[in-house]
Amino acid sequence: MKVIKYMVVLMLSLSTVVLSKESVSKKTTTSKWSTLVGKELRNSKKEKKTVQDLSNKKIVGLYFSAHWCSPCRRFTPDLIRFYKDLAKAGESFEIIFVSFDREVSEMDEYMRETGMPWLALPFGDAHKKTLGKIFSIRSIPSLIILDGNGNLITKDGRKDVSQLGLAAYKKWQKEAKK
């Protein structure tokens, strides 16, 4: 009887440790995203969102684009279809729009006109400049793909989406597991 009681206590102790590790891991991931993109994001309806919305995503894309950019306006509808198809398939994927527009009204119009279904950095957020430097953004559109912990998978997300379609996501998943 003492052995069974000891085993139950040990199992409860171990489950507490596992739960603690999960909550620490989630906080660490949220902290990494806060450092990378800030604590606050928004959606196309101008509703405020937090980086906690990213904590359960396995793959995250940073989409550098602007309404005045012709190649961006050609690629954005393809990216929207890609995003929606992954969402329908139940895949764990999010995009954060990093606007290179000159005015907040341009950013809002671009998001509204195209129906961007994803998150965005608030207009003028200082993280835009930092992200541009970190990922050496020289031209737009550019799609940077990160794993759920904010680690770089590829800087060629645009090329992958254009050439591979939905198979790009499987490629990124394999890279994220390495």
Q: Is residue 36 over pLDDT 60?
A: yes
Region 120-147 average pLDDT: 94
Q: b/e per residue, 88-115, with b = 16+ CB within 10 A?
A: eeebebbbbbbbbbeeeebbbebbeebe
The pLDDT of residue 44 is: 80
pLDDT at 53: 75
Domain 37-177's class? alpha beta
| Neighbouring C-alpha atoms within 13 Å toward the C-beta of 59 | 25
The whole-number pLDDT of residue 40 equals 86
- Which position has the token pair 């550098």? 64
Residue spans per domain, the chain: 37-177
Q: What is the reported pLDDT for 29?
A: 56
| Confidence (pLDDT) at 88 | 96
Residue 7 has pLDDT above 90, yes or no: no
Give the rounded percent of residues in the chain with a pLDDT score beyond 70.
83
- Across the chain, what does the average pLDDT equal? 83
CB 59 within 8 A of CB 148: yes
- pLDDT for 65-117, tens place per residue? 999 999 999 999 999 999 999 999 999 899 999 999 999 999 999 999 999 99
Residue 8 has pLDDT above 70, yes or no: no
Contact 51, 38 (CB under 8 A): yes
Q: Residue 90: which of 58, 114, 116, 51 has the closest Cα?
A: 58
Structure confidence at residue 30 as a pLDDT band (50, 70, 90): low
- 42-62 pLDDT per residue, tens: 888 877 877 777 878 899 999
The answer to which of 34-38, 50-54, 130-134 has the lowest mean pLDDT is: 50-54
Task: Give pLDDT, residue 13.
Answer: 35
Terminal C-alpha separation, the chain: 46
